[in-house]
Each structure stands twice: as structure tokens, then as C-alpha cells.
Amino acid sequence: MTKAHSPTVELASQLVSRASVTPEDAGCQPLLAERLEALGFDSYWLPVGDVSNLLCLRGAKGPLLLFLGHTDVVPAGDSDKWRSAPFDPQIRDGKLYGRGSADMKGSIAAFISACERLLEGGEGLPGNLRIGVLLTSDEEGPAVDGVRAVAKTLCDLTGPIDWCLVGEPSSEQSLGDSIRVGRRGSLSGEITIEGKQGHVAYPDLADNPLHRLAPVLHTLAETHWDDGTEDFPPTTLQITGIDTDTDERNVIPGRARARFNLRFSPALDADGIRQRIEALLADHAEQAEITWIHSADPFSAPAGPLREAVMAAVEEINGQTPRPNTAGGTSDGRFIAPLGAEVVELGPVNASIHQVDEHVATKDLDDLSAIYQAIITRLAQHSPEPS
């Protein structure tokens, strides 16, 4: 880089240069621990298998604001398609390019630099707020050995978690236009129907499993699952794959398989969905099997002090009122919400995440850091002074 950039952009660039494809952390967390320890945070290393998990905590008393983030990134894909190498951070036209710049190394850097401005050699925070930072290197992957695994023991270290601010890229068109106050549940299924293979010219001697699968898929695609709830859009189902055990023009396959995924609102639960689909399948095919992966239940946080602070901070820094919503994929917030925390997600624009040439505007990183700082200050003012 030729000219000096803000501490937020510098730190985001340092993180992008560490190729931390899940479950690798590639040295991101040690760098962040060092920065936080200099501010008086204590570090707790919570590795599980190949996954690095780090909790940094500051303060002994008062309500806790926990910032939740992940240092891992999805693979770069075809590196040749990138204008600059995916793990070589480059700034062009006011944007920082590199894998993880938007999802979500930029927001981690923004939170750390906000803490540095507030805590470095200054008067400290008003009030009595404790601050925690929880980082994992397994959010983009199976998400089993990350926050899900440490959530069980987390409260032993932190005590009750009052507020959880997740740095996932929640913004759509411009920074802060959208914040997440919950997420839909996720349920995947795979249907296998056995038939009898044969020559297409002799269908009487065969049993075509695709002909049984097709009406099932048609019904799945046409079903109106629910109307959603006040906070959640209606449940949706997408068919994600169909295949058979043959690939010939003149052979009736012996087996057919289809995969699908539902993103569901709290109007439904995973068991109810499973029962509906299993009953539908039983109507169409005797020799059918279905396997399920239930990766997330829906969660939502009622409006509370964190949402209030986030809304006010965004308005203060960039003058727009965020739209609270529950769209998007799942996030690790789902493991913290059941612990009783109010969970809100606020991060940069998500338009380029997981794509070739992932990027984030450097101005957005600096504004995000100012917004995080305003959130911390507001919550600290909300927390009673030690008596």
C-alpha cells in the first residue's frame, strides 16, 4: 500500500493477508489477542479439534457486551478470476479487496479499533460496562467446533451475557441500512427413491423412481408453508439437486435422489416440517428414504437496549435509520441467543461476500468503527456506575 490508511483499514488488511480458510485461523486470533491485551483484556483460548476459538474479556463488574465474529473465510474459488490475489489485500478506488474483507475481517478490525480509541490511555468508559470479544475459525464450515461447542462453557467465563453484537455483513445497499435482529431456521433433506432399472423401450419391466420423485418435488415447490411472523418472512423451500444412478438416454434409472433446504420462520418447527414431508413422501413412494440435517432453529431478539443503541449509533454517524429484519443465512448468533442475550447483527455491505473480488469500502470500515464506538459508549452510559 502506498499511502497511510486508518488503523481500521490497516488491521483489516493485515487480517486479509492471513489465508484463514476454515478451519484455519492462520494467526488472526493471536494478532487480535495481542491488540486487546494491550487494552487490558484477558485472553482465554478455547480450541476444539482443528478450530481456534478465542475469548477476550475486559472488566470485572457490570453488564456484558459481547462482540461475536469469525476469523475464517470461505475458499477463494478460482484465484485466476480475481483482479488481485485473494489473500493479497489491495486498495483500489476506495475499496479494500480480498477474501474476508467484508465477511468479516473488516468488522472485526472496526470493533478492535473502536475499543482502542475508547480505551487507549483515555479516561476509560463511562459507567460500568464489561466488553468481550469472541472469535472462532469455524463459522463458514461445519460450525460444530466453533461457537456451538464453546457456548456451553462460555457462561462459566463470562457470567450472564446481556448484549451480543455480531459483525456479520448485514448491510444491503449502504452501511447500516439493515440490521439483523434474528435469523430463520435451516433444515435440509435428501430423498432417495428406489425403483427398478430397465430399458426405456420396456417400461413394463422397470419401475422409474423419477416418476415418483417428480410429483413429490412439485408439491414441495408449490407448498405454502406459513405466512411468517411479525419479524420473519414466510418460510421458503428450495430444491438444490436431483440425480440418478445412471446417465444414459435409453436407461430407466434404478434410483433417484433429490436435495432441498428450507429456511423457516418460528411459525413452524423442524419436527412439524419433517412430519409433513415424510407423510407426503409416503403417499407417493413406498421404497423411499429421507435423511435430514437440521442446522439451525430460528431465533429473534425482542427490541432492547442493544437494538436501541445500534439504531441511535447508525443514525448519529451516517444519518440513516436501519431496517431491523431477519433475512439472510444463519449466523453464530443462534448459539448465543439461547443464553439469554439480546443479539443484533450489524456489519458492512454484503453484496460481494463469498464472491470473486470480495471488497468493502474503506470509508464504510471507518464509519463502522465510529458506529461501534458510539454503540459501546451508549451501552456504557446505560450501565450503572460502580457504587
- Nearest approach in angstroms of CB 331 to Zn ion is 7
In the complex, least distance from residue 104 CB atom to Zn ion, rounded to whole angstroms: 5
Query: Shortest gap between Cβ of 106 and Zn ion (angstroms)?
Result: 11
Instruction: Please list, in sequence order, all residues whose beta carbon lies within 8 angstroms of the beta carbon of residue 89, skipping any fewer than 6 positions away.
Output: 1, 12, 13, 14, 16, 17, 96, 97, 98, 101
Q: Which is nearer to Zn ion, 162 or 345 (CB)?
A: 345
| Local structure of 189: helix, strand or coil | strand
What is the nearest approach in angstroms of Zn ion to the Cβ of residue 103?
4
Could you say which DSSP state residue 338 is in? G
**To 5 degrees, how large is the angle CA 340–CA 341–CA 344?**
140
Q: What does the alpha-carbon distance between residue 99 and residue 97 come to, in Å, rounded to a whole number?
A: 7
Residue nearest to Zn ion (CB): 103
Report the alpha-carbon distance of residue 186 to residue 296 in Å, rounded: 5
**Segment 141 to 170, residues that bind Zn ion, using CB under 5 A:** 168
- What is the H or E stretch that residue 238 is in? strand 236-244
Interface residues for Zn ion in 165-194 (CB under 5 A)? 168
Please list the alpha-helical segments (H only) found in the chain: 7-16, 28-37, 106-119, 147-158, 209-222, 270-284, 305-318, 333-336, 362-382
Query: Of 298 and 333, which CB lies nearer to Zn ion in the complex structure?
Result: 333
Binding mask 47-76 for Zn ion (x = CB under 5 A): ------------------------------
Which candidate in 139, 342, 345, 358 is catalytic?
A: 139
The phi, psi pair for 44, rounded to 5°, reads -125, 120
Is 247 designated active site? no
**Known catalytic membership, residue 72:** yes
- Select which of 24, 72, 145, 342 is catalytic: 72
Write the binding mask 76 to 115 for Zn ion: x where contact by CB under 5 A, - elsewhere.
---------------------------xx-----------
Distances (CA, A) of 295 to 154, 178, 332: 20, 24, 11
Number of residues this chain uses to bind Zn ion (CB under 5 A): 3
| Residue 18 beta carbon to Zn ion: minimum distance, rounded to whole angstroms | 16
Residue ranges that bind Zn ion, judged by CB under 5 A: 103-104, 168
Tell me the catalytic residues: 72, 139
